Structure 1
């Protein structure tokens, strides 16, 4: 089963840049996008640490082979 993403990577990058420029607060961004404030703070933290690539969400969960799962 895939993941449901509320905001696209482009929107995340845009709002993080607006926050860093001092144009909007975390609360304003969260209300506009209808997401939790902690999510916006997490985007900001990831952007500062790893850049815009960190805001791209994978479409699928990681699938591990049974051999690796059963490894002691």
Structure 2
């Protein structure tokens, strides 16, 4: 939630513009802690009118190209972040963040970020196997099945040997019980 609503911003700016008071006095009168906020509101009001102060609650996703054009404008026109934000009708902190990301991490950092939980859908569709790969997999599966059967026979032989040698009774569930 924003700290100041649209009506309040318009009231404060119009008070400042219609009365011979300083920004500091206006901020004190309306209990605004930062003079910078008031300066921004005044500039927005002058450039866009009262509708420019409207609180925008949408989370707009900007393309990488748009972000790059904002950063490029800032760098080529040698202007302030505040004036760049006004030019593109953006929040000053948003422009500052894009410039920081570009300077420290490059253009790739300006790609839109995905939010929320990742999709549980498969990322890649199953591609059909070539004939050679499929036959190789089938051969390996049959070899592994044969190995499993061979191992199971060895286990059965060892169980019978243990049962006869040590008097161990083998139950239906392969629970080992000593004969008494």
TM-score (norm 1): 0.65
- Kindly indicate whether residue 132 of structure 2 is the aligned counterpart of residue 43 of structure 1: no
- Kindly indicate whether residue 109 of structure 2 is the aligned counterpart of residue 61 of structure 1: no
- Residue 16 of structure 1 is matched in structure 2 by 71
Unmatched 5+ stretches in structure 2:
1-58, 119-180
Alignment coverage as a number of residue pairs? 61
Distance 1:61 1:8 in 2: 15
Structure with larger RCO (C-alpha < 8 A, sep 6+): 1
- Residue 60 of structure 2 is matched in structure 1 by 4
Distance 1:14 1:4 in 2: 16
Unmatched 5+ stretches in structure 1:
65-72
Q: Which of the pair is proportionally richer in helix?
A: 2
Post-superposition CA distance 1:14-50 (Å, at most 9, x none): 1212222344321222112222111101100000011
Where does structure 1 differ by over 4 angstroms across 4 or more consecutive aligned residues?
none
TM-score (norm 2): 0.30
- Residue 68 of structure 1 is matched in structure 2 by none
- Kindly indicate whether residue 68 of structure 2 is the aligned counterpart of residue 31 of structure 1: no
Q: Aligned-pair RMSD on alpha carbons?
A: 2.2
